[in-house]
Amino acid sequence: MPVRLLNTASRSIEEFAPLDPEGRRVKMYTCGPTVYNYAHIGNFRAYIFEDLLQRHLEARGYEVDRVMNLTDVDDKTISGCRHHGVPLADYTQTFKTAFFEDIKTLRIKPASHYPAATAPEYIARMIEMIQGLEAADIAYKAEDGSLYFRISRFPRYGQLAHLNLDELRPSGRISSDEYEKEAVGDFALWKAWTPGDGDVWWESPWGRGRPGWHIECSAMATALLGPQLDIHCGGVDNIFPHHEAEIAQSECFTGKHFSRYWLHCAHLMVEGQKMSKSLGNFYTLRDLLAKGYTGREIRYVLLSVHYRLPLNFTIAGLDAARTALGRIDAWVERLQTLASGCAPAQQEGAAQAKEGFLQALDDDLNISAALGNLFDWIRESNRAMDSGGVSPAEAAGTLAEFQVLNSILEMDAESTTVPAAVLALVEERQAARAAKNWAQSDTLRDAIAEAGWQVKDTKQGAQLTRL
Ligand code: AMP
Ligand code: ZN
């Protein structure tokens, strides 16, 4: 059975086949972070869904060439650097560095390329594309000195988002990067410099200015992957106007169909409400790590709900992830002990269980069914080991099949290295105990527990275990 995916463009499930005549190489573009702040776990939901898609395609034998851009110039990054009074590049560097640390923590497979919009070769490509659109009279310069895309010249504008432009009566021009569907209109490709931009500008055939957000992705995608992509992904909030604009710009410039499949993940909610800064229910990855949860546990939560369903993020969900992972760890440890380095024997049941998992993912990444299969397999395998019916070679065979699933899940147990911050608390607590300051010692015990570790006082000294 081929992989089947829900294509936002057709709103139907379609069989996946790449453009590559040999049917192997897949060109995938994923909209990356706007580096004006630490990425929040909603952003990471999108990146983990894309990671699942890439890893599953690879498990099915495809070679995925994935690009994820870094939006390091747009309305938000400019307003952030101006507010803090630092150069744009310095301001965005902090969040770029944090982003790469965070994807490592979440075990997200690195993309093949991470182009940054401000790199000279991509600014040049944006200008080249806008010039091409201007020559075709699709882009025009307005009184404000900025260049706009004439949406009336692209009749398919609105098709991805299923908008009826006649009903919406498009009118006027929009200069901001983000806007609602009701405000549909000619959008900015190149924004003429204004005092609010400070020292953020590039020279262009139209004078000093900077690119609009949408042209950045069209330029980076086509520069690195060519005029035609297999898959383009993002969160549902990207469908309009961002992806709609990307299609219009790219197709008018290259004359080719831009992307065959469009996939979008639903939003992440927190405790039943939309995650937002104003509601105060806003988590970065760092917030959750500080509460003692691990990258693996957060990865599990973000991965375990089907990408098209809203994910209700709760702390209870993280605790449930810890329990689920504990079951996987205990099973793997038991198999490892039994196998004790034995060569794997072919295991019919394990091969079937693995195939059941992969087939569930073939069905538009049905992760709930896939994990359901995995836990059924764990239960049956534990039962067989309870009754002594599993040989060391069979245990090794089971582990080998599990490794195929784990190349997608990436759920190996965390190394039990104790974080330096926890070790410092333990030392402080030892000092408090030596000084018979029991209240202080208890407070520190609680702080250690808060960070996810239990401290026990033994004759050999303090011993730490993961909570
Ligand atoms: P941004 O940095 O806002 O450009 O977003 C980067 C990526 O994260 C895009 O693909 C967004 O669609 C996605 N995204 C933003 N917020 C959420 C959310 N709450 N849930 C899921 N994905 C999101
Ligand atoms: Zn984009």
Query: For position 322, which CATH number holds?
Result: 1.10.730.10
Average pLDDT over residues 399-424: 88
Structure tokens at 217: 């992705």
248 and 283, same structural domain? no
- For residue 450, being part of any structural domain is answered with yes
383 versus 455: the higher-pLDDT residue is 383
CA–centroid distance, 243 to ligand 2, in Å, is 7
Query: Hey, what are 414's tokens?
Result: 């965390």
Coil, strand or helix at 221: helix
Are residues 241 and 281 both part of a single domain?
no
- Asked whether 93 and 36 are in contact (CB, 8 A), the reply is no
Residue nearest (by alpha carbon) to ligand 1 atom 8? 43
Q: Does 437 lie in the same domain as 309?
A: no
Instruction: Say what angle helices 88-105 and 75-84 make with each other, to 10 degrees.
Output: 110
Query: Cα(317)–Cα(178) distance, rounded to whole angstroms?
Result: 32
Which pLDDT does position 461 carry in this prediction? 75
Does residue 244 sit in the same domain as residue 289?
A: no
pLDDT band at 170 (very low <50, low <70, confident <90, very high): low
31 lines ligand 1 (CB under 6 A): yes
Whether 414 is in a domain gets the answer no
Distance CA(33)–CA(99), nearest Å, equals: 8
Give, for ligand 1, the residue of 237, 281, 284 to mutate: max count of ligand atoms closer than 8 Å to Cβ: 237
CA of 242 to the centre of ligand 2 (A): 6
The C-alpha atoms of residue 87 and residue 78 are separated, in whole angstroms, by 9
Of 44-48, 121-125, 352-356, 415-419, which range is least confident?
A: 415-419
Compare 465 and 292 and report the one with higher pLDDT: 292
Q: Are residues 258 and 278 in the same domain?
A: no
Kindly report the pTM of this predicted structure: 0.89
| pLDDT per residue as tens digits for the range 198-216 | 999 999 999 999 999 999 9
Interval 262-302: pLDDT, tens: 999 999 998 778 776 667 788 999 999 999 999 999 999 99
Residues 316 and 225 in one domain: no
Last residue of one domain, picked from the residues 360, 381, 409: 409
- % of the chain exceeding 70 in pLDDT: 97
Q: Convert the pLDDT of each residue in 53-65 to its tens digit.
A: 999 999 999 999 9
Residue where one domain finishes, among candidates 409, 430, 451: 409
Which CATH number is 59's domain given?
3.40.50.620
Tens of pLDDT, residues 330-340: 999 999 999 98
Residue 58 placed within a domain? yes
- Judging by DSSP bridges, how do beta strands 259-265 and 229-235 pair with one another? parallel
Ligand 1 centre to CA of 76 (Å) is: 14
| 249 shares its domain with 277 | no
Residue 268 near ligand 1, beta carbon < 6 Å: yes
Give the residue-averaged pLDDT of 83-105: 97
Q: Say if residue 190 is in the same domain as residue 245.
A: yes
CA of 78 to the centre of ligand 2 (A): 17
Q: Is residue 77 within 6 Å of ligand 1 at its C-beta? A: no
Question: Is 213 near ligand 1, meaning CB less than 6 Å away?
Answer: no
Residues 297 and 396 placed together within one structural domain of the fold:
yes
Does residue 261 sit in the same domain as residue 287?
A: no
Among protein residues, the one with the nearest Cα to ligand 1's atom 14 is 43
Task: Compute, in angstroms, the gap from residue 30 CA to the centroid of ligand 2.
Answer: 7
Ligand 2: centre distance to CA 208 (Å): 23
The whole domain housing 456 covers 420-466
Residue nearest ligand 1's atom 5 by CA: 33
Q: CA 439 to CA 432: how far, in whole Å?
A: 9
Count: domains in the chain: 3
Percent of the chain with pLDDT over 90: 83
Instruction: Give pLDDT tens digits for 121-161.
Output: 999 999 999 999 999 999 999 999 999 999 999 999 999 99
Decide: 207 and 239 in contact? Cβ < 8 Å: no
Strands 461-466 and 453-458 come out as antiparallel
Q: Of the ligands numbered here, which is closest to the C-alpha atom of 241? A: 2
| Secondary structure string (H, E, C) spanning 72-83 | CCCHHHHHHHHH
Are residues 295 and 364 located together in one domain of the fold? yes
Do 279 and 324 lie in one domain? The reply is yes
Number of the ligand 1 atom closest to the C-alpha atom of 233: 10
From 409, 430, 454, give the residue that closes a domain: 409
Q: Verify whether ligand 1 is closer than 6 Å to residue 34 (CB atom).
A: yes
In a domain, 147, yes or no: yes
Q: Is the model more confident about 169 or about 372?
A: 372
By the 8 A CB rule, do 234 and 225 touch?
A: no
pLDDT in tens, 426-440: 889 989 998 999 999
User: To which residue do tokens 């790590």 refer?
Assistant: 289
Quickly list DSSP for 47-96. HHHHHHHHHHHHHTT-EEEEEE-BB-SSHHHHHHHHHHTS-HHHHHHHHH
Q: Among positive and negative, which fits the CA dihedral 201, 204, 209, 214?
A: negative
